[in-house]
Amino acid sequence: MIAELISRFGRLEDTPTGVVEDRLRRVADDEHVFTSLMPGAAREQAAASTERWRDGRPAGRLDGLPVAVKDCIDVAGTPTTNGSLVDAEASATRDAGIVRALRASGAIVIGKANLSELAFSGIGTNPHFGSPVNPLSRDEPLITGGSSSGSAAAVASGQVPLAVGTDTSGSVRVPAALCGVVGYKASEGRFPRDGVRTLSPTLDSIGVLVPTAADLVVVTAALDPCVGSPGPRAPGPVRLVVPEDEVVADVAPEVAAWFRGAVEELSVLDDVRVERRPLPVLAAAQELMDRHGTLVAAEAFCGYGRLLDGTSAGLLDSAVVRRLRLASRVVSTVGPVRAHMTTLRERVAAELDGGLLLCPTVRDAPPAVSLVTASADVFDRWNARILRTTMLLSYLGMPGVSVPRGDGRRRGLGLLVSAPDGHDRAVIRAAQLIDDAPTNPHHVNR
């Protein structure tokens, strides 16, 4: 989609002005996906991009492409709300590093995308700016997942072909899966994080959401040629390791059936080898966090615990208040989790032995908003379950791409391919292979 749109610009069959105007009209018809829009600046930039294409001198590989930016990332001249009334900041004076990279490639920011308050929930609801509804919803509204809720909804609904988010415990991968799009969590140090509001300094990462894995290749090549450029491929088939562990065993029956069919389809490809075996490091890391708490919780409290004092707590999402209060207990217990992190990351690389981990992104299909918000206890249980797989893999330092395969695209089910830290190119290549491989409807529907 993105490559074709850029090609149309190059052939003068379409213009950034026309595309941006069309996307702004679409955005205006959909509530709660964006916290703010920048129509004036977007139109000016689109006009300049149109002239560059007519002159045959595009600024970069994404020149004229409309983009949404999660509202915890600074865009000069607009407020950064972080999805909050009490943690919002006045208009940013400088673009964040990832926004500067987008602009250098010619992309046009049309607005700031909604998110869970403080980026601290996997559900995607927001009581202050309204909650985006999953575009896959039919009879009843479904959750988008979070925290990059608006970013995922914007791409899934066709409002933008590219959205930028952040991923700490699954905040890009989860909503990508639940909304039926592709979501990439980069290795922690892959992209600059200046100008990005921090939830967990240790685990925060930049991520992107796009319609297809082919689009992801185009975008990452524009933002970081070392990751996105094709380059020489390693000899032999891609090895996908399906772990005989909780991340596959503890899923809803419909997810299990879909995942089994998808793996069978991939197993018959000439350039794929599927290995089913235990990865003991997954259980070891999960047990450690279950016993001592998570780094995300501890670091979130260190950054935002101050908001529980005085009148601020009354202006916070009640779900965020509950999580921060629980997180206050983790600060004193999380030491072993931090102490063992490096060793466990080395273990996951050793146990994968050159392979890539493959599992469902989320253990359930997207639930109804009414179900998840029925009570505080129900909300908190769903939040923990939705993030359980991706939070584990974040702790292990694994970049990953969630790919909606077959009818998973309309059902909100994603295949998550992950690799040890720094192996972003491998997971992006594997994601494209997975996305491009033919599907058998008898497999994914049974």
Angstrom distance (rounded) from CA 127 to CA 181:
25
Tell which residue, 126, 136, 88, has the closest CA to residue 318.
Answer: 126
Strand partners, 166: 206
Tell which residue, 89, 62, 58, 63, has the closest CA to residue 76.
Answer: 89
The residue type of 146 is G
Q: Known catalytic residue: 91?
A: no
Q: Known catalytic residue: 147?
A: yes
Q: Which of 70, 84, 151, 169 is catalytic?
A: 70
Sequence-distant (6+) residues with CB within 8 A of 297 are 323, 326, 327, 330, 334
CB-neighbour burial class of residue 328 (10 A; exposed 0-12, middle 13-18, buried 19+) = middle
Sequence-distant (6+) residues with CB within 8 A of 57 are none
Angstrom distance (rounded) from CA 154 to CA 134:
10
Q: Which of 84, 151, 171, 418 is catalytic?
A: 171
Q: What is the DSSP letter of 165?
A: E
Q: Known catalytic residue: 171?
A: yes
Sequence-distant (6+) residues with CB within 8 A of 314 are none
CB-neighbour burial class of residue 202 (10 A; exposed 0-12, middle 13-18, buried 19+) = middle
Q: Which of 49, 105, 116, 147 is catalytic?
A: 147
How big is the CA angle at 145 (ends 139 and 150), to the nearest 5 degrees? Answer: 90
Angstrom distance (rounded) from CA 243 to CA 123:
26
Q: What is the DSSP letter of 168?
A: S
3-state class (DSSP) for residue 83: coil
Ordered DSSP codes for 216-274: HHHHHHHH-HHHHS--PPPSS-EEEEEESSHHHHSS-HHHHHHHHHHHHHHHT-TTEEE
Backbone dihedral angles phi then psi of residue 25, each to the nearest 5 degrees? -65, -40
Supply 261's token pair. 């069919």
Q: What is the DSSP letter of 404?
A: -
The residues annotated with a catalytic role in the active site are: 70, 147, 171
